[in-house]
């Protein structure tokens, strides 16, 4: 009995553990506990939300208005209409850095060690992060979409197609959670996770986010067209009824297929990597 021990601490609280509901129950409950933790972070650091959203919002205004009038969309169409799906996708793509940073921060502070020494579900450390990141991504998309609507962007593909578009965006973000978890476990600390931006930025630029691949030099256009980011951008442009500016290449013509296949492939590769790395913590 733990009664004696808690008595010595002057503890009237009964410390016997709750009834054992089985592993599945605790996997969900502990995941939720960690989701709550991260949501509390947002509540305690409202500035962090602004910072997270600041980049895409500034990008929307910068590219939309500063360059927007000078940029031409091949095949016609409004550049801002063309750009908004790119902004949505870029925000999802950059999200993996948040996952990596959050994970590396906990690992570096020994918080993961504490979690792993507790009788909680070990999977919750990862699933909790994943759920928080998806909630965050959904909030980011909502705010970006509202901003886009304010500056004249419209989704004309019908409600179902629009829903599917946002679904594809979250699917991309979902697959990148696993990349982020893996990277967060690989990098030595949160500072290094931050420097992933140096890689993420060009990877996102060499895509159809800002410019149609058909306007790039041939080889670059091919790389850009095959970029997983482009697959999602092109697919949601189709779904939202925005200018697509397809150069007619295979990946551009099969964007819808690729926008599902790429995240599936990323998930299939990164989940085992992340899980292996997580298990290696006890080596």
Among positions 24, 44, 146, 198, the unique one binding another protein when judged by CB under 8 A: 44
**Site for another protein contains 62 (CB under 8 A):** no
**Does residue 160 touch another protein according to CB under 8 A?**
no
**Residue 10, interface with another protein (CB under 8 A)?**
yes
DSSP H or E stretch at residue 52: helix 46-61
Should residue 276 be labelled a site residue for another protein when binding is judged by CB under 8 A?
A: no
2 sits near another protein (criterion: CB under 8 A): yes
Distances (CA, A) of 73 to 28, 105, 239, 251, 270: 47, 42, 18, 19, 35
Q: Is residue 6 close enough to count as binding another protein by CB under 8 A?
A: yes
Residue with tokens 């063309």: 82
> Which burial class, exposed, middle or buried, applies to 27 when counting CB atoms under 10 A from its CB (0-12, 13-18, 19+)?
middle
Q: Which of the stretches 76-84, 108-116, 225-233, 235-243 binds another protein when contact is defined by CB under 8 A?
A: 108-116
Query: What six digits make up the tokens of 171?
Result: 């699917």
Cβ closest to another protein, residue 83 vs residue 193 = 193
Nearer to another protein, 101 or 227 (CB): 101
Q: Does 18 engage in binding with another protein (CB under 8 A)?
A: yes
Using the rule CB under 8 A, which residue among 83, 90, 93, 120 binds another protein? 120
Q: How far is the CB of 10 from another protein (least distance, A)?
A: 7
Distance, CA of 262 to CA of 175 (rounded, Å): 9
DSSP letters, 61-121, are: HIIIIIITTT---TTS--HHHHHHHHHHHHHHHHHHHHHHHHHHHHHHHTHHHHHHTSSS-
Angle at Cα 95 formed by Cα 69 and Cα 218, nearest 5°?
50
Task: Give the total of residues touching another protein (CB under 8 A).
Answer: 41
Nearest distance from residue 78's CB to another protein, in Å? 42
For position 118 contacting another protein by CB under 8 A, the verdict is yes
Instruction: Identify the DSSP state of 17.
Output: P
The least CB distance from residue 13 to another protein, in Å, is 5
The contact set with another protein (CB under 8 A) reads: 2, 4-15, 17-18, 26, 29-30, 33-34, 36-37, 40-41, 44-45, 109-111, 113-120, 124, 281-283
């Amino acid at each position: 009995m733990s009664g004696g021990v808690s008595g010595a601490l002057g503890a009237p609280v009964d410390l016997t553990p709750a009834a054992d509901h089985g592993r599945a129950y605790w996997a969900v409950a502990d995941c939720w506990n960690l989701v709550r933790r991260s949501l509390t972070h947002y509540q305690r650091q409202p500035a962090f939300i602004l910072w997270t959203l600041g980049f895409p919002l500034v990008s929307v205004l910068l590219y939309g208005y500063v360059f927007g009038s000078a940029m031409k969309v091949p095949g016609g169409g409004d550049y801002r209409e063309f750009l908004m799906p790119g902004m949505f996708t870029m925000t999802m793509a950059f999200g993996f850095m948040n996952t990596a940073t959050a994970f590396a921060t906990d690992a570096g502070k020994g918080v993961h060690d504490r979690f792993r020494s507790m009788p909680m579900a070990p999977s919750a450390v990862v699933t909790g992060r994943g759920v928080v990141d998806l909630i965050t991504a959904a909030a980011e998309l909502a705010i970006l979409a509202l901003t886009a609507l304010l500056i004249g962007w419209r989704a004309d593909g019908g409600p179902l197609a629009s829903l599917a578009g946002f679904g594809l965006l979250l699917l991309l973000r979902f697959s990148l959670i696993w990349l982020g978890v893996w990277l967060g476990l690989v990098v030595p600390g949160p500072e290094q996770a931050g420097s992933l931006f140096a890689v993420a930025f060009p990877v996102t630029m060499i895509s159809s986010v800002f410019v149609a691949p058909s306007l790039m030099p041939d080889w670059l256009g091919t790389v850009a067209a095959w970029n997983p980011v482009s697959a999602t951008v092109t697919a949601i442009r189709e779904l939202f009824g925005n200018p697509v500016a397809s150069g007619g290449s295979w990946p551009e013509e099969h964007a819808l297929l690729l926008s599902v296949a790429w995240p599936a492939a990323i998930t299939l590769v990164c989940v085992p990597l992340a899980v292996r790395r997580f298990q290696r913590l006890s080596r």
